[in-house]
Amino acid sequence: MTLLELRDVAVTYRSATGDVPAVRGVSLALAEGEALGVAGESGSGKSTLAMSLLRLLPRDALVSGEILLDGEDVLTMSWGRLRAVRWASASLVFQGAQHALNPVRRIGEQIAEPLRVHGMATGAAARRRTAELLEQVGLPAWRARGYPHELSGGQRQRVMIAMALACSPRLIVADEPTTALDVMIQAQVLSLIRSLIAEHGIGLIMISHDLSVLAATCDRLAVMYAGRVVESGPSREVFRDARHPYGRALAGAFPTVGDPASRMAPSGLGGDPPDPAHLPTGCSFHPRCPVSLVSCASEPVELWPVSRTGADRTETGRAGASHTAACVHVRVPEETR
């Protein structure tokens, strides 16, 4: 059953110098108990997309399209209905726990706040639920009496996950949950996320620039560039056999454990992402693309099913086509390239 569906979602920021398109026509779906990873460089629009799911963007952001949570459009909800949905039906693990937590409030108070807001528990019941949540994420219950500055980065991130789980939501959106964590702590947090998703059957959307992290954590991947999804499919397939040049570059940016040669293997990607206010014509990636054609500079490319042995794949995932890529080399047959 589909838990979340995005239909042609676009986000545009208004500014004194003109409109800036941050997200452009994104359509994705997430099934119950499924984990979807969204990858891309800084400026690709992935965090803006995450914030739009619960209408957490600033006032100067114009959001269009449809964001269907259990069939109900988040963009047309009244403020009262939206307040009831946040934390209870869908919650967000914010990027940078150090800045997301209130430094002058105790940990337990912050975890219990969603419970009180939604009338799920107060007083002793809220304290018991807080202790359960802390232990669930691998922290002792007595940490509830402490303050954020008394915790390490990994412990603060666990607190953020506990807050997201407080009201037993069906959807969690995790925006760069392992940013600024060392490798060992990152592995522990990712393992925790995977186990909690499997145990509770929660739908997960995980945002990261690290394709390898998403491939190890998520069922499916969506690669974003310049505000658009340029490739999507099963996580291991996209990571190992990306068909869009940008997807291949992201996958090639990380060395393979046990393969010293991969440390020096160039990704083939140079330059910087385009300015959203001045996007290139045609395929937005063509100025950086090592295999671009003349037509790429003028003709936009849609997401096309990835072919195998010359025929379009018919296999489908739980929430859409198995593997698609917005590249002319996917669309054009081999013999005509």
pLDDT in tens, 217-270: 899 999 999 999 999 999 999 999 999 999 999 988 765 555 555 444 445 577
The answer to whether the CB of 217 falls within 8 A of the CB of 196 is no
Task: Take residue 299 and report the two structure tokens written for it.
Answer: 């003709």
Q: Is 200 within the bounds of a domain?
A: yes
**Full domain range(s) for residue 197:** 2-89+170-257
* Structure confidence at residue 271 (pLDDT): 79
Q: Letter for the amino acid at 216?
A: A
For 21-77, what is each residue's pLDDT tens digit? 999 999 999 999 999 999 999 889 999 999 999 999 999 999 999 999 999 999 999
Q: In this structure, are 109 and 239 located in the same domain? A: no
Q: In this structure, are 205 and 224 located in the same domain? A: yes
pLDDT band at 311 (very low <50, low <70, confident <90, very high): very low
Statement: residue 320 has pLDDT above 70: no
CATH number of the domain bearing residue 214:
3.40.50.300
Burial of 74 (0-12, 13-18, 19+ CB in 10 A): buried
Q: Is 78 within the bounds of a domain?
A: yes
Statement: residue 312 has pLDDT above 50: no
Domain end position, chosen among 209, 237, 257: 257
Q: In this structure, are 82 and 212 located in the same domain? A: yes
The answer to whether the CB of 41 falls within 8 A of the CB of 246 is no
Q: Is 307 within the bounds of a domain?
A: no
Q: In this structure, are 59 and 190 located in the same domain? A: yes
Domain end position, chosen among 152, 168, 184: 168
Domain end position, chosen among 257, 289, 319: 257
Q: Is 218 within the bounds of a domain?
A: yes
CA 254 – CA 274 distance, rounded (Å): 22
The answer to whether the CB of 23 falls within 8 A of the CB of 45 is yes
Q: In this structure, are 84 and 183 located in the same domain? A: yes
pTM: 0.87
Q: In this structure, are 12 and 64 located in the same domain? A: yes
The answer to whether the CB of 168 falls within 8 A of the CB of 200 is yes
* Structure confidence at residue 173 (pLDDT): 94
Q: Is 125 within the bounds of a domain?
A: yes
Q: Is 313 within the bounds of a domain?
A: no
Q: In this structure, are 82 and 27 located in the same domain? A: yes
The answer to whether the CB of 86 falls within 8 A of the CB of 172 is no
Q: In this structure, are 236 and 137 located in the same domain? A: no
Q: In this structure, are 16 and 67 located in the same domain? A: yes
Looking at the structure of the chain, the number of domains it has is 2
Q: Is 309 within the bounds of a domain?
A: no
Q: Is 95 within the bounds of a domain?
A: no
Rounded CA Rg of the chain: 21
The answer to whether the CB of 158 falls within 8 A of the CB of 166 is no
* Structure confidence at residue 288 (pLDDT): 92
Q: In this structure, are 211 and 108 located in the same domain? A: no
Strands (DSSP E) found in the chain: 2-15, 18-31, 35-39, 61-69, 72-73, 90-93, 171-175, 203-208, 220-225, 228-234, 304-305, 307-308, 311-312, 316-317, 320-321, 324-325
For 147-201, what is each residue's pLDDT tens digit? 999 998 889 988 999 999 999 999 999 998 877 677 788 888 888 888 888 888 8
Q: In this structure, are 105 and 222 located in the same domain? A: no
For residue 86, the 8-state DSSP code is B
Task: Take residue 152 and report the two structure tokens written for it.
Answer: 């390490």
Q: In this structure, are 79 and 176 located in the same domain? A: yes
Provide the phi-psi class of 269: left if phi over 0, else alpha when psi is between -120 and 50, else beta.
beta
